[in-house]
A and B are shown apart, each in its own frame.
Chain A
């Protein structure tokens, strides 16, 4: 049974940095991409970034490009967030998609989410 577990979310001040971690277990393959999706309180889902298994460059949403960096090893991922803003406050989900991007199989497994609050 595939499980994704995020950690690292907490309350930080604007301008600070924070790193989230995602541990993936139970997968019979490493041929998947790991995506980060966030959801601000009372809002919809917003895709943040993704990293594939094949070494191709990560992709980022326009709202975080240049401030966030996503990485992964064979199975797990980290999201380094810098210059945090009030609008980055959200629950951050780590999500798996088989293949290099979001393809036919969709986001088949989600973590439980880790909350990040940016507040002065």
Chain B
């Protein structure tokens, strides 16, 4: 069981907006940063959001994130079929001195 809680799956049609939640505690998300990762089958994950709401070069502006208290949210607007992937959140847990990941959310673009 993962320390950060994500929905196992979400789905939406092309062009629509989808959000993925990541619930943690005061010792991880609540006192630090949450970052988001995208993973296609058979490939390594890649960073899509860091530092509250910044995107690495090459990540489209359709990706954004927010944080409120002990939860973070990834939002993808104007969904494209190429966004279909698994998404993970991660944070440093200052009480446990470990990195904690969410269990991952499979995004299906219908």
User: Which A residues form the contact surface with B (CB < 8 A)?
Assistant: 35, 37, 44-47, 50, 59-62, 93, 101-108, 110-113
Contacts and interface: CB of A to CB of B under 8 A. Distances in A.
A106 B47 contact: yes
Interface residues of B, number: 29
Contacts of B103: 44
A61 B103 CA distance: 16
A44 B2 contact: yes
A102 B91 CA distance: 7
B14 interface: no
Interface string B47-87: 10111100010000000000000000000000000000010
Contacts of A108: 47, 50, 56
Nearest to A46: B101
Contact of A102 (B35, B49, B88): B35
